[in-house]
Amino acid sequence: MGMTMTEKILAFHAGIDETKPGQLIDARCDMVLANDITAPIAIREFYKIGRERVWNGERIALVPDHFTPNKDIKSAEQAKIVREFAKKFEIKNYFEVGEMGIEHALLPEKGLVLPGDLVIGADSHTCTYGALGAFSTGVGSTDLACAMASGTAWFKVPESILLELSGKLPRYSSGKDVILKIIGDIGVDGARYMTMEFTGDGIASLSMDSRFTIANMAIEAGAKNGIFPVDDSTLSYVEESMKSGLREDEQKIYEKDPDAYYSREIRYDLGTIESQVAFPHLPENTKGISEVGDIKIDQVVIGSCTNGRMEDLKIAAEILRGRKVKKGVRLLIFPATQKILLDAMREGLIEVFIEAGGAVSTPTCGPCLGGHMGVLAEGEKAVATTNRNFVGRMGHKESEVYLASPAVAAASAVLGKISSPEELAL
């Protein structure tokens, strides 16, 4: 029996010839990651193991991105624990505020994740790196502590679902609409414990930024990981990112075997996917933009590990250029990394946002999880390009989050209600 991409990557890292779904393996990690929320517990557990050294100071990434720049004294203390640990154990890839970005945008950008890698991170959206043809998955702090000590982690080899994409997306649709559509169809536990492997000739038309968005939200269908094949777009992205010199090893390109086993196969014609909106309080509550109705909003958030990349800012700026945010609506924009912020500034996008009446922030996960920099009050509604719309996710338990693409978010900011860019008659 042939193997899927994920089975091949797991087999290689476990040092065995083949793996099958359900098999329990111990595998070597290429990179392990934690942030200012999850690292303090991982560090506490790491000390309990009693090791004097970490497994490899070059293969641990610590990114204080959630409650930073420190939102309060307690958060500052948490960030300090991470900073001091990084110093003590010579963690090379610790990114301080100023060079820090949202972890899942930052690691690929810095060339810290390569095709064929096995990566674990104490953050559920670690699955983002599947866009590069890597196996990457979220774990808890204790798993991360053990990986910092040993460089290994245990896995149950997941079953795989194959998602075949054909065609090309309509004008205002992007990766966000693809993944919201899929989650709407299969549900928030539709891929529970499983891999979502993407295939098909439609992938070539998807930008790397859109692929990151799609892989990022695989967890929102309960998946262990999402993974894309490696093509020319992947290779040129990696060529650019590796200029950082932070990783020098060779990348490995895996392809699924023609007779690999998939427990389910689903096909999508990208051309039929209109803009999607996920209603409160689950990402599976999706509707096409044409069926949304009249929903007035108080806040719009554009950013996050899901949609804070250059493609996202460009489409938002295209829609906001020469327009004004509706009076009474707050538009918050969070470029995901310092590089993205700088590029957006040089291309004049930041000017567009500010002239439209938007507030632009330094990179942070803040508002996505109701941490800081955009918390909602009772009864308020927000359109967000983030990934979760659970009860209380962005603030008060009686507030509501509608998930959408940057294009829909930008149009909604102008019209003050959830809207398609087409309603602006561009």
Partner 1 sequence: MNDNNNLFFEGVAHRYGDNIDTDVIIPARYLNTSDPNELALHCMEDIDKEFSRKKREGDLIVAGENFGCGSSREHAPIAIKASGISCVIAASFARIFYRNAINIGLPILECPEANADVEDGDRLAVDLEKGTIQNRSKKTDYKAQPFPEFMKEIIRAGGLINSMKKKLEGK
Q: Is 97 in the site for partner 1 (CB under 8 A)?
A: no
Cβ nearer to partner 1, comparing 44 with 92: 44
- Give the number of other CB atoms < 10 A from CB of residue 372: 18
Residue 72 interacts with partner 1 (CB under 8 A): yes or no: yes
The Cα-based distances of 188 to 32, 179, 404 in angstroms read 26, 11, 16
Residue owning tokens 């500052």? 76
Of 106-114, 174-182, 256-264, 392-400, the segment contacting partner 1 by CB under 8 A is: 392-400
Largest CA distance in the chain: 63
Query: Which CB, 101 or 370, lies closer to partner 1?
Result: 370
Helix, strand, coil content of the chain in percent (nearest 5): 40, 20, 45
Would you give the binding string for partner 1 spanning residues 209-248, x where CB under 8 A is met?
Answer: ----------x--x-x------------------------
Residues 147-176 that bind partner 1 (CB under 8 A): 149-150, 154
When the beta carbons of 121 and 308 are compared against partner 1, the nearer one is: 121
CA-to-CA dists, residue 290 to 213, 270, 379, 380, 425, angstroms: 22, 17, 24, 23, 15
Q: How far is the CB of 73 from partner 1 (least distance, A)?
A: 9
The tokens for 414 are 């102008």
Contact criterion met (CB below 8 Å) for 385 and 405: yes
Counting contacts by CB under 8 A, is residue 371 touching partner 1?
A: yes
What is the crossing angle of helices 73-88 and 39-49, to 10°? 40
Interacting residues of 266 by C-beta distance below 8 A, sequence separation 6+:
161, 162, 163, 164, 182, 185, 186
Is 74 a binding residue for partner 1 by CB under 8 A? The answer is: yes
- Which CB, 363 or 371, lies closer to partner 1? 371
Q: Which stretch binds partner 1 (CB under 8 A): 118-126, 262-270, 287-295, 345-353?
A: 118-126
State yes or no: residue 253 binds partner 1 (CB under 8 A).
no
Question: Does residue number 130 form part of the binding site for partner 1 (CB under 8 A)?
Answer: no
Q: Is 189 in the site for partner 1 (CB under 8 A)?
A: yes
Nearer CB in complex with partner 1: 148/214: 148
Dihedral sign, Cα of residue 308, residue 310, residue 311, residue 317: positive
Interface residues with partner 1 (CB under 8 A)? 24, 37-38, 40-41, 44-45, 48-51, 66-67, 71-72, 74-75, 78, 121-124, 126, 138-143, 145-146, 149-150, 154, 188-189, 192-193, 219, 222, 224, 282, 369-371, 375, 388, 390-393, 397
